[in-house]
Amino acid sequence: MAMIQVSNLKKSFGNLEVLKDVSFEVNKNDVVAVIGPSGSGKSTMLRSLVYLEQVSGGSIRIQDEYLVKEGVYGDSQKIKQITGKMGMVFQHFNLFPHLTVKENLEIAPRVVKGESTEAISQRSTELLEKVGLADKANVYPAKLSGGQKQRVAIARALMMNPDILLFDEPTSALDPELTGEVLQVIKQLAQEHMTMMVVTHEMGFAREVANQIMFMDNGEFVEAGTPEQLFTNAQFERTRTFLQRAL
C-alpha cells in the first residue's frame, strides 16, 4: 500500500485555482523530489498533506487512513493522528527563538506524548549528534548559521518519529556554501530509507538522491519518473523546457 495517495486534489484561494486535480502516489522508502516553477503549487500541495492548508476537493490517504476523502475531512482527533505521522521542514526553519536548540527539539514531544523526560532527552541528544550539532544543544537559534538552524529543524522533525518527512525548499534561504551540509543530512536520511518528499531547486541533489522526480506546473501534476527518465526522456514539452532552464 502507498504511504501517500493523493487523488484529484483541488485547492483554490478565492478565484485562483492553485491545485487542479493533482493525483500521485508515494511509496514506502521513496525519496520524491518535487520540482516546478515558482507559483506552480508545490508548497500548497505539501502543506495540504499536513493540514496547513485545507483543500476544496479530492482525497489524501496516508498509509491506510484518509486525511480527507472526496473533500470531506474527519474530526480533529483523526486529523491530528494522521498528520502526526508526518514531519515538515520549512524554508525558514521556524525555530522557537526563545528556546535553546535542545528545548526546540523537546517541546513538541513533551507537550504531545506521555513519554518520560529522560527518554525525550536521550533522543534529542542522539538526534543532535546525528545532525552534527551535539555541541550546540544549549545555545539559542540566533547563535547558529542558517545551515545549522536547518539541521536543528530536521532533528526537531525527527523527534516525533515520523513515517514521512516533508521538506519545502530546505536550502533556498541558505547561502550557497551552507546548502551542502543540509543536503548531506537529507541524503543520509535517504540512505536510512526514510520516506521523503523534498520540494527543491537543487537539480543535482534531486538527480543524485531522489528515486522519483515529480514535475508540477501551473497547479497541475504534469509527470513523474526516475531522475533518468525525467532528465533524459521527459514526456511533456513543458517539463523539458523547465529542466533545460533549471540545469
Q: Tell me which residues touch Mg ion (CB under 5 A).
A: 43
Minimum CB distance to ligand ADP smaller for 40 or for 148: 40
Own/partner contacts of 136-143, CB < 8 Å, gap of 24 or more, are: 136/101, 137/100, 137/101, 137/102, 138/100, 138/101, 138/102, 139/100, 139/101, 140/97, 140/98, 140/99, 140/100, 140/101, 141/93, 141/95, 141/96, 141/97, 141/99, 141/101, 141/104, 142/97
CA distances from 25 to 155, 195, 212, 240, 243 (A): 26, 12, 11, 22, 22
> In whole angstroms, how close is the CB of 161 to ligand ADP at the nearest point?
27
Report the alpha-carbon distance of residue 180 to residue 121 in Å, rounded: 28
Contacts with ligand ADP in 161-220 (CB under 6 A)? Answer: none
204 interacts with, out of ligand ADP, Mg ion, none, CB within 5 to 8 A per kind: none
**DSSP SS3 for 17:** strand
Minimum CB distance to Mg ion smaller for 43 or for 179: 43
Minimum CB distance to ligand ADP smaller for 27 or for 218: 218
> In whole angstroms, how close is the CB of 171 to ligand ADP at the nearest point?
15
Contacts with ligand ADP in 53-72 (CB under 6 A)? Answer: none
Minimum CB distance to Mg ion smaller for 120 or for 166: 166
Determine which residue in the list 1, 15, 38, 72 makes contact with ligand ADP, applying CB under 6 A.
Answer: 38
Determine which residue in the list 23, 28, 39, 235 makes contact with ligand ADP, applying CB under 6 A.
Answer: 39
Contact residues for ligand ADP, defined by CB under 6 A:
13, 16, 18, 36, 38-44
